[in-house]
Structure 1
Amino acid sequence: TLGHFPQSFQYASIGGFAVTRSSGQSSAGYGRFDSLVVGLTVATPQGTLQLGNSPANAAGPDLRELIMGSEGAFGVVTAVRVRVRPLPQVKTYEGWRWASFAEGAAAMRTLAQAGMLPTVLRLSDENETAINLAKPAEVGGESAGGCLMITGYEGTPEAVEAKKAAVTALLAGLGGENQGPDSGQAWSDGRFHGPYLRDSLLDVGVLVETMETVTFWSNLDHVYTAVKDALVGALGEATLVLCHISHVYETGASLYFTVATKAADEPLPQWDVAKQAASAAMVRNGASITHHHAVGQDHKPWLAEEIGPVGVQMLRAVKAEIDPTGVLNPGVLIP
């Protein structure tokens, strides 16, 4: 198995995973998709590019990194060579309760920096926890109902037992409350259902959308607050903003926001205003415009601010040399 199962899995392709730097729910244990790629074959207007002829090298910049994240702007990926692992003999999940989102995030940071990440590690803020546990009376944050963390373990029985024991001891020592397997298993069983709700909610007048970012641990709470404030400011006080962390690194973590509000008669312009406000809050507060949703057209206006003028010049130079007539996925990525 690749262990790579993002929420888009039912509609995605392996080449799409590569060129968008996809990240799945088991990234803590298996890694992001770009870390699983050994080699790529890419068809370009200048000929075929074959990459990944050795497990590692020092032969200049790694050109695989140029293709991964390129969104088809530099070539069409025709083959991907990936690292696979044996199918896990055991999969098990648990839920943990934390008094606040900040406390849960601090525990995630401790796990990551101690080199003790489970296969799955996810933390919902107070609002998302209340919604997921069907407790709407607790929506509103301020530790109303605490925060739910999901831990998941995959592998051999011996490896799972050892990792689970170590993680359990650390989380309990930090003040987490073990909720047992039920909430964790419920999350696993229903994790592909969420996107199918959007159209039904729109039909009854509820605008629902998502966005995500990533930043360093020292900046996480600041970005979390800034983006929430930007969304509520753009959409009104009746807006409900949910957030979770599901991709964790030694140096930082992603923030994934779900937004729900009353839909206007024209919901697209309504969302565009909110998207612009939240994107500005991300980039101008030191976070990335995207962790795993890629750039495309929606995020392209913010890319130049993130990578700077020299970065833009480099991307344009590659595009001009490889695809001078602009036939490859025009309109995406390149500012």
Structure 2
Amino acid sequence: MSAVRFDLDAPRAGPSPPVAPMRWWGWGSDAQAAQLSPTALALLRERLGLDGARVDAPVRITDVALSEPNLPPATLAALRTCVGEAHVHTDRLARISHAAGRSYPDLVRLRSGAVEHPPDAVVMPGSADEVAQLLSLASAEGIAVVPFGGGTSVVGGVEPLRGRFDVVISLDLRRLSSLREVDERSRLAHVEAGILGPALERALAERGFALGHYPQSFEYSTVGGWVAARSAGQASSGVGRIDDLLAGVDLATPTGTISLPALPPNAAGPDLRRLVLGSEGVLGAITSCTLRIRPRPQARHAEAWSLPSFEAGCAALRQLAQRRCLPDVARLSDEQETDVSLTLASNTTAVAWLRRYLRLRGQRRPCLVVTIYEGEGDEVAWRRARCRRALRAHGGVPLGAAPARSWERERFRGPYLRDELLDRGVLVETLETATTWSRLGELYGAVREALRTALATPSSEPVVMCHVSHLYETGASLYFTFLAPVAPDERLQRWAQAKRAACDAIVAHGGTISHHHGVGRDHRDWLVHEDGERSLDALRALKRELDPQGVMNPGKLLPDE
């Protein structure tokens, strides 16, 4: 058979999923918590002037200042009628765990117990019909609705801002978590929007397929969230971004449901799927998606290289992108990120030998390149051979598989380590952008300098690192990570200064305000520089048509919301 159907029961019976998929104040669970190594603590002392002592810790959940839910009895009863009494949560844990995403300011506020915008309720519908009923009710009664996904937004995209509404609810779709259909002949999978990344990959693997979309939030983010925020995924050079993987989508709006089927490329007017991609919940709630899948890769190869400079590495990757011959994963770290990565490596003897070897090869400030190839054996070998020639031609030195495999093991640990750094008084945040190859070096230098200037003090310099991880024929992304010491009473102010400086530099030097994190609340004021007022007017007009009362995710994406 070319199609297999299963898990079609809806609405679901039984309890809601746990209301706190992650620690309410941080990332992941206590069982997965990361610890800073002695070398990491030494780095904090040497480069940031911090002694590594724990100076901050999350308050107890009982000490969080939480307002009472503003839910009139008639509103609460109506919500329960839509989804069932067991699936409307107003308890402390549910409301706090849905009160923010996972950006630096989100975590600062959560850890200090300052929950500024808790939802009045967390609502978990069990079917697309229940979502439609809920949005119709919200529009009629003036209830703000904030689609939550997995809650991993780092740009303020899921904070339940109520705007002009008296009641705001967080819409959690994790009960919509089935792989509904696999069309093996067409290589399409129809999935519900609330399914988490690991669950989707496991279900596809049982049938010999894979999606291959791995954002750093993979463990806790949902398919609907990927589409709403236009996620990229670490293997974007191979399988593509979520833009490339989305074939069809269902969007529930306050005025009705938009169903866009999975069809091959066509000329039937504008592609409305592109309006759903990146819509961030302001038009409606994504309830299901049809995704392009592939057979599970039969061959896999990982290897690392060292390039003599960031500029040389970018030139090599540009050549590969424009020849349309790339690894599935291609990640180039600049000199600072490479140095920090080598400093933190556990095998200090091997790293010392490697540094000496690279100096002998003329690389005193090397840049690490990680490459990973997947697919059929012959095809992987062909791509690898062409990529190796290009990397060698730009001064690349092969380092073997070990550094690439180490990166694979550690690639999802960053958010866990951030919690540990916050404990020790470190301002640690990321931001990303992208531009054309002709402006990449200019943008890289401008954003680095903006962050350095915004965060430097007379007694300390920030650590500002960058890597390229998404490649295109016309350009590439830049992903910055920055660390700085900060006093407890200056954390949000210093973050805002750095964010403003970096975003201003991005728009001034030809970058996009977001390559894959989305716009949310934090980037919305810069969107006009990228899209222009008339484009935003058109988006506002679409929102008025689909959401005439403006109840969907107030305060996000559109600058005047």
Query: TM-score range, shorter-chain basis?
Result: over 0.9
Residues 202, 263 of structure 1: 8 Å contact kept: no
- Separation in 1, partners of 2:428, 2:399: 29
Please state if 1:40 is matched with 2:249: yes
Please state if 1:321 is matched with 2:541: no
- Separation in 2, partners of 1:74, 1:176: 47
Q: CA deviation at 1:104?
A: 0.2
Q: Deviations over 1:146-189 (max 9, x none)?
A: 10001110012222112111211222122211111111111111
Amino acid across the alignment from 2:510? G
- Look up the SS of the partner of 1:31 in the other structure: coil
Aligned partner (choices 92, 102, 108) of residue 311 of structure 2:
102
Residue equivalent to 1:256: 479
Please state if 1:183 is matched with 2:403: yes
Q: Deviations over 1:100-137 (max 9, x none)?
A: 10000010000000111111111000010011112699
- Look up the SS of the partner of 1:250 in the other structure: coil
- Separation in 1, partners of 2:510, 2:378: 41
Greater mean alpha carbon deviation, residues 227-236 or residues 46-55: 46-55
- Separation in 1, partners of 2:410, 2:279: 31
Residue equivalent to 2:516: 292
- Separation in 1, partners of 2:474, 2:237: 13
Q: 1:121-136 maps to which residues of 2 (within 5 A)? A: 121-134=330-343
Q: Deviations over 1:298-321 (max 9, x none)?
A: 000111121111111111111111
- Separation in 2, partners of 1:280, 1:170: 35
Q: 1:168-317 maps to which residues of 2 (within 5 A)? A: 168-236=388-456, 238-266=461-489, 267-317=491-541
Residues 311, 441 of structure 2: 8 Å contact kept: yes
Greater mean alpha carbon deviation, residues 258-267 or residues 274-283: 258-267
Structure 2: tracts of 5 or more residues without a match: 1-209, 346-351, 356-362
Amino acid across the alignment from 2:236? S
Cα root mean square deviation, aligned: 1.5
Structure 1: tracts of 5 or more residues without a match: none
Q: CA deviation at 1:264?
A: 2.2
Amino acid across the alignment from 2:228? V
Amino acid across the alignment from 2:279? S
Gap change, CA 1:294 and 1:4, over 3 Å in 2:
same
Q: CA deviation at 1:199?
A: 1.4
Aligned partner (choices 224, 229, 232) of residue 15 of structure 1:
224
Residue equivalent to 1:151: 371
Please state if 1:92 is matched with 2:301: yes
Gap change, CA 1:158 and 1:281, over 3 Å in 2:
same
- Separation in 2, partners of 1:175, 1:271: 38
Q: Deviations over 1:214-234 (max 9, x none)?
A: 000000010101001111111
TM-score (norm 1): 0.96
Q: Deviations over 1:27-69 (max 9, x none)?
A: 0001001110000011111211011342121111100000000
- Look up the SS of the partner of 1:295 in the other structure: coil
Residues 128, 244 of structure 1: 8 Å contact kept: yes
Amino acid across the alignment from 1:201? L
- Look up the SS of the partner of 1:317 in the other structure: helix
Q: Deviations over 1:241-298 (max 9, x none)?
A: 0000000000000000000010222311110110001000001111111000000000
TM-score (norm 2): 0.58
Residues 213, 289 of structure 1: 8 Å contact kept: yes
Greater mean alpha carbon deviation, residues 252-261 or residues 194-203: 194-203
Aligned partner (choices 57, 61, 79) of residue 270 of structure 2:
61
Amino acid across the alignment from 1:19? A
Residues 262, 290 of structure 2: 8 Å contact kept: no
- Separation in 2, partners of 1:187, 1:101: 18
Residues 264, 270 of structure 1: 8 Å contact kept: no
- Separation in 2, partners of 1:195, 1:144: 30
- Separation in 2, partners of 1:144, 1:125: 13
Residues 126, 144 of structure 1: 8 Å contact kept: no
Residues 313, 394 of structure 2: 8 Å contact kept: no
Residues 52, 64 of structure 1: 8 Å contact kept: no
Moved over 6 A (4+): 135-138
